[in-house]
A = this chain, B = another copy of it.
Amino acid sequence: MNALERARACAARMFEKDAASQAMGIKIEIPAAGRATASMRVRDDMVNGFDICHGGLVFALADTAFAFACNAYDNLTVAGGGDIEFLRPARRGDRLFAEAREVHRGRRRGNYAVSVYNQDRQLIALFNGRSVSRDESMLDNG
């Protein structure tokens, strides 16, 4: 397997068990190892009391892209934390795209930047995630 094939194998393995991302209707694409795009439509059950997409779900989309980007290396990696900045509301019916890219990857800690856009390519949110790796294979553990 080359790097991209391995990244995609990890993503497929993760996604098939990821009930939460599936329930949110999230779709994943892996354009390269260390990158991931997660997309989601803002459904009626995703808006808050101000009739805009619940910020927690915008975060969840960004966090999902981050999780798939940092798990490209068959080395089980979890989110240690992250910071989000909300720039513009997402509306009911909008299609959101969270694009994650690796900024730095050390032996155990990594940093990933995620930009969330709507269907008009307007920037909705910026997220920076901090990952922690566990030195454990994902593909070998069925």
Q: Are A60 and B49 in contact (CB under 8 A)?
A: no
Q: Are B13 and A49 in contact (CB under 8 A)?
A: yes
Interface residues of A in 18-67 (CB under 8 A from B): 18-23, 44-51, 53-57, 59-64, 67
Q: How large is the interface on A (under 10, 10 to 19, 20 to 34, 35 or more residues)?
A: 35 or more
Which of A's residues lie within 8 Å of B, judged by CB? 13-23, 44-51, 53-57, 59-64, 67, 76, 78-87, 103-104, 106, 109, 111, 113, 123, 126, 128, 130
Residue in B closest to A59 when the chains form the complex, CB atoms = B59
A-B residue pairs in contact (CB < 8 Å), sample of 25: A13-B49, A17-B48, A17-B50, A17-B51, A18-B48, A19-B45, A20-B45, A20-B57, A21-B48, A22-B45, A54-B64, A55-B60, A56-B57, A56-B60, A56-B61, A57-B60, A59-B59, A78-B86, A79-B86, A81-B84, A81-B130, A83-B83, A83-B84, A104-B123, A111-B126
